[in-house]
């Protein structure tokens, strides 16, 4: 007897129109995107959508029966939060299928002004258990919550059993070791954080120093990592550098690694996860195509949980686009903690 479960939605990132098309063409059910400003948590130079590209992208997806979500998931800052409100208005006017919000005040605005607009609680909202999610449900009628990457598989299951809000989890991409929405390391080092500016370890603070024997990677002058001549250097995300603690130098917080839940797909499906999200709006259309295609194949194969096994070709494909060419199950697997 095989239990039948609805397959989770595959939710893929797009930082540009070509990436959006790559996601749709390679089997994403849903694509999420953000506007070109600090209202979203991937506010990187040269990235994201303006009116024209957003309209075109939405048309492209809707013509093919796919959905578009708009992330407006930084926290509205200070006295004048009209920019964030305008982004919500904009999303509603453009006809997106849902907005992804973190700021409860902004959710309040969205409900009052756009009662028909579907609301998702962003991972930046730091809701790690059902009581937190159910607060946003009671207040704003949220339809989905994206879980921070901190829970074990059993804990995710427990959340799903205690709320009717759909649960979306991260399936692949760069791994945040900290609870999303609760990490100020970036602003401590640079003055800009995901919550305030939609950035982490921002590129404009990165400086590479080529020495005779080593390569230094600095963030706002702080030495995040140091590489020997033969070592592959990675972007100096500050939680993934090598530091000294108690006389030992090592990746004190986390290695450069990517989350990859392929081997857990049947379990995620059977506990009733509604959507699986791919991280990477800052990545190229080629990345989006590669990851989307692989996860599409894997999800389709996981319909038959009994016979499911991770194909080497999937692993190879994802390995190529992984940070530091390393992958982990992260918190889903308890020993990681």
Partner 1 sequence: MNTLNLGLTLGPLQFFWPREQVMQFYRAAVELPLDTIYLGEVVCGRRQQLRTQDWIELAQELSLAGKRCVLSAQALIESESDLKRLRKLIDNGQVGIEANDLGAAKLARDSQVPFVAGPYLNIYNAETLALFQRLGAYRWLPPLEMTRDTLSEIIAQGVAVETEVFAWGKLPLAFSSRCFTARHYNLSKDSCEFRCLEHADGMLLSTRENQEFLTINGIQTMSAECQSLLPHLADMAQIGVSAVRISPQSEGVAEIVRAFADEIAGNHCDSQRLNHLQQLAGGSWVDGYWRGQAGIVHLQEAEYART
- Residues lying near partner 1 in the complex (CB under 8 A) are found at 75-79, 81, 102-106, 108-109, 125-129, 131-132, 134-136, 138-139, 150-151, 155, 158, 177-179, 181-185, 187-191, 193, 195-196, 220, 222-224, 226, 239, 242-246, 248-249, 252-254, 331, 334-337
Residue labelled with tokens 């749709």:
24
Residues 337, 333: Cα–Cα separation, whole Å: 8
Residues 6+ apart with CB under 8 A from 267: 153
Burial pattern 303-325, b for ≥16 Cβ within 10 A else e, equals: beeeebebeeebbebbeebbbee
User: In whole angstroms, how close is the CB of 185 to partner 1 at the nearest point?
Assistant: 5
Give 92 or 223: the residue with its C-beta nearer to partner 1: 223
Token couple for 102: 């973190």
User: In whole angstroms, how close is the CB of 9 to partner 1 at the nearest point?
Assistant: 24
Tell me which DSSP letter residue 333 carries: S
Residues 304, 93: Cα–Cα separation, whole Å: 40
User: In whole angstroms, how close is the CB of 299 to partner 1 at the nearest point?
Assistant: 26
Give 226 or 260: the residue with its C-beta nearer to partner 1: 226
User: In whole angstroms, how close is the CB of 189 to partner 1 at the nearest point?
Assistant: 6
Give 17 or 223: the residue with its C-beta nearer to partner 1: 223
Residue 126 backbone class (left: φ over 0; alpha: ψ -120 to 50; beta: rest): left
Tell me which DSSP letter residue 260 carries: E
User: In whole angstroms, how close is the CB of 159 to partner 1 at the nearest point?
Assistant: 10
Give 103 or 323: the residue with its C-beta nearer to partner 1: 103
Give 58 or 133: the residue with its C-beta nearer to partner 1: 133
């Amino acid at each position: 007897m095989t239990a039948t479960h609805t397959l989770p939605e595959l939710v893929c990132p797009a930082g540009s129109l070509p990436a959006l098309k790559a996601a749709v063409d390679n089997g994403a059910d849903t694509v999420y995107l953000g506007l070109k400003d600090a209202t979203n948590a991937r506010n990187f130079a040269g990235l994201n959508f303006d009116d024209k590209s957003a309209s075109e992208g939405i048309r492209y997806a809707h013509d093919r029966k796919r959905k578009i979500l708009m992330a407006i998931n930084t926290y509205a800052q200070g006295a004048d939060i009209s920019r964030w409100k305008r982004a919500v208005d904009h999303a509603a006017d453009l006809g997106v299928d849902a907005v992804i919000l973190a700021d409860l005040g902004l959710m309040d605005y969205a409900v009052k002004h756009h009662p028909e607009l579907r609301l998702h609680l962003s991972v930046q909202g730091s809701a790690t258990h059902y009581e937190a999610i159910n607060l946003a449900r009671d207040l704003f009628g949220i339809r989905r919550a994206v879980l921070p990457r901190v829970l074990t598989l059993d804990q995710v299951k427990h959340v799903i059993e205690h709320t009717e809000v759909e649960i979306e989890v991260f399936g692949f991409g760069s791994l945040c070791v900290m609870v999303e929405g609760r990490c100020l390391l970036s602003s401590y080092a640079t003055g800009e954080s995901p919550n305030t500016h939609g950035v982490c370890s921002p590129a404009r603070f990165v400086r590479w120093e080529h020495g005779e024997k080593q390569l230094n990677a600095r963030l706002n002058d702080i030495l995040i990592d140091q590489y020997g001549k033969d070592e592959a250097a990675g972007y100096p995300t500050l939680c993934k550098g090598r530091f000294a603690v108690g006389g030992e130098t090592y990746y004190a917080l986390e290695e450069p690694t990517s989350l990859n839940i392929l081997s857990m797909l049947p379990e995620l499906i059977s506990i009733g996860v509604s959507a699986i999200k791919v991280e990477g709006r800052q990545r190229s259309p080629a990345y989006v195509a590669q990851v989307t295609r692989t996860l599409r194949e894997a999800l389709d194969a996981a319909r038959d949980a009994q016979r499911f096994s991770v194909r080497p070709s999937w692993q190879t494909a994802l390995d190529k686009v992984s940070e530091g060419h390393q992958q982990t199950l992260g918190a889903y697997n308890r020993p990681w903690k």
